[in-house]
A = this chain, B = another copy of it.
Amino acid sequence: MPHDRPPRLLIVGGGFAGLWATRALAGTKLRITLIDRRNHHLFQPLLYQVATAGLSAPDIAAPLRHILGHQRNVEVRLGEVEAIDKHNRQVRLRDGGTLDYDLLLVASGATHAYFGNDQWAPHAPGLKTLDDALALRRRLLLAFEKAEAEPDPAKKAAWLSFAIVGAGPTGVELAGTLAEIARHTLRNEFRHIDPASAKVRLVEAGPRVLSSFPEVLSLKARRQLERLGVEVHTGTPVTAIDAEGFHLGENFIPARTVVWAAGVAASPLARTLDTPLDRAGRVQVQPDLTVPGHPEIFVAGDLAALVQADGRPVPGVAPAAKQMGRYVAGVVRARLQQRPPPPPFRYRDQGNLATIGRMAAIVHMGRLKLSGLLAWWFWLAAHVFFLIGFRNRLVVLLNWAVAYWSYQRGARIIFGDADGEPRDGGPPRE
Contacts and interface: CB of A to CB of B under 8 A. Distances in A.
A390 interface: yes
Interface string A153-184: 00000000000000000000000000000000
A111 to B, nearest CB: 14
B66 A189 contact: yes
A420 B284 CA distance: 32
Given A188-B70, A418-B39, A391 B408 contact: yes
Interface in A3-62: 37-40, 53, 56-59, 61
Copy total for this chain: 2
Contacts of A391: 398-399, 402, 408, 410
A182 to B, nearest CB: 13
B186 A65 contact: yes
Interface string A398-421: 110010000010111111111111
Interface in A338-397: 390-392, 394-395
A413 B40 contact: yes
B141 A39 contact: yes
A116 interface: no
A75 B191 contact: yes
A422 to B, nearest CB: 7
Interface stretch (A77-85, A117-125, A318-326, A327-335): A77-85
A1 interface: no
A29 to B, nearest CB: 17
B66 A412 contact: yes
Contacts of A70: 188
B395 A398 contact: yes
Nearest to A145: B78
Contact of A412 (B53, B63, B77): B63
A39 to B, nearest CB: 5
A94 B424 contact: no
A232 interface: no
A180 B392 CA distance: 21
Interface of A: 37-40, 53, 56-59, 61, 63, 65-66, 69-70, 75-80, 94-95, 130-131, 134, 141, 145, 148-149, 186, 188-192, 390-392, 394-395, 398-399, 402, 408, 410-425
21 contacts: A38-B414, A38-B418, A39-B141, A39-B145, A39-B412, A56-B56, A57-B415, A61-B413, A63-B189, A66-B412, A69-B189, A70-B188, A75-B192, A77-B149, A78-B414, A130-B415, A131-B416, A390-B402, A391-B408, A394-B398, A424-B424
